[in-house]
Amino acid sequence: MKDKVETVGESAIQHGSFNDRIYLMHLSPSDHDSILEDLESIAQKNDYSKIFAKIPSSQKEDFLSFGYREEAFVPGFFDGKENASFMCKYFTRSRMVDEDAKANKEVLETALSKDSKDEVVRLGDNASCTLCTEEDVERMAEIYDKVFDTYPFPIHDPSYLLKTMSDNVVYFCIKEDDWIVALASSEMDIENNNVEMTDFATLPECRGKGYSQYLLAYMEKEMAERGVLTSYTIARAGSFGMNIVFSRNSYRYAGTLVKNTNIGGRLESMNIWYKSLE
C-alpha cells in the first residue's frame, strides 16, 4: 500500500509503511512551534524508523536540537533567497547504516569526475522530445510499471498521473516513431520558484542513447522560461546513469539521504543534486 499525503496543521507530509518514514514536504511558517512534536507523535504512533524533512535552513537549529542531522544542503532553494536543509532523524540503528555505502561512494566519485562534460546528445531522425498530454497517461503508466518494481509515488496509475498534470507537475517524453519510449517530470514548487527533476524512465531496449540527458536539458529550458530559479533532483545513490546525467549537466552534489526511499524493490539511499537556472 502506498504512503499517503496529509496535512499537519498547514504543513504537508507523506507517510506510511511503504517507505517506513515521514516526509515533511512543506513546512508552513504557522507550524514552526508545533511541527517537531507533531512529527514525533506520528512516528511513534506508527513505529516508523525515520523522519525526513525539507526545511528552510533558518529552522535547522530547532531540528538539530530535536535529534535530527543535516544530510543535504541546497543554497537559494526557496525563491532564490532562503537555503534549504534536508534533515533526517532515525529511530533504529539499522535505518542509519547503509550496507551499500562503499558501492554508492564509487558511483558518486565516478559521477563527480564527469562534471560538466560537454557532450551534446542529438536525437535520431525518428525521435522527438515534447511535453506529455492527458492522452498519454495510459502509455506513461505502462512504461513506469515496466521500469520500476516499486516507487514512492503511484506513477504506474494513470489516474494519479492525470491528477498531478492538473496540479503542479509537467511531464516530458521522447518518442520514437510517435511512440513514447522515455519519460521524466518537473514537479514545480511555484510559490518558492524551485523544481524537482524526477521520474526518469527509459525502456530497457532504448537505453544508451542519452535520452535522460536530453530530457533534462529540455526540461531545464522549459522551467527557466517559466521563471523557475533552482532545479534539483533526488537520485538513487546506486545509479551510475542518473548521477552521471546530473553531474554532466553542471549540477552540484548536495548530500546523501541514507536508506530514504523504497524504489526498485527495497530501501535505497538517495543523492541530492542542484543547479541554478538563473
Q: How many structural domains compose the chain?
A: 2
SS3 content of the chain, % helix, strand, coil (to 5): 30, 40, 30
88 and 126 part of one domain: no
114 and 252 part of one domain: yes
86 and 115 part of one domain: no
Residue 26: CATH number of its domain: 3.40.630.30
- 206-217 pLDDT, tens digit each: 999 999 999 999
Q: Retrieve residue 50's grid coordinates.
A: 525515520
User: Does pLDDT of 178 surpass 70?
Assistant: yes
Domain closes at, from 65, 96, 127 = 96
- 220-250 pLDDT, tens digit each: 999 999 999 999 999 999 999 999 999 999 9
128 and 261 part of one domain: yes
110 and 195 part of one domain: yes
* Closest alpha carbon to 157 in 171, 172, 140: 140
41 and 68 part of one domain: yes
Residue 251 is part of which domain span?
101-276
User: Residue 153 — pLDDT band, cuts 50, 70, 90?
Assistant: confident
117 and 90 part of one domain: no
**Cα 44 → chain centroid:** 26
113 and 246 part of one domain: yes
124 and 210 part of one domain: yes
Whether the predicted model's global pTM rises above the 0.85 cut: yes
128 and 106 part of one domain: yes
Domain closes at, from 96, 121, 146 = 96
User: Residue 96 — pLDDT band, cuts 50, 70, 90?
Assistant: very high
How high is the mean pLDDT of the chain?
Answer: 95
For 272, counting Cβ atoms within 10 Å of its Cβ (0-12 exposed, 13-18 middle, 19+ buried), the class is buried
- Range list of H helices, 125-227: 137-147, 158-165, 211-225
- 123-144 pLDDT, tens digit each: 999 999 999 999 999 999 999 9
163 and 214 part of one domain: yes
Average pLDDT over residues 163-169: 94
Domain closes at, from 96, 127, 155 = 96
267 and 129 part of one domain: yes
Average pLDDT over residues 263-272: 93
Average pLDDT over residues 24-53: 97
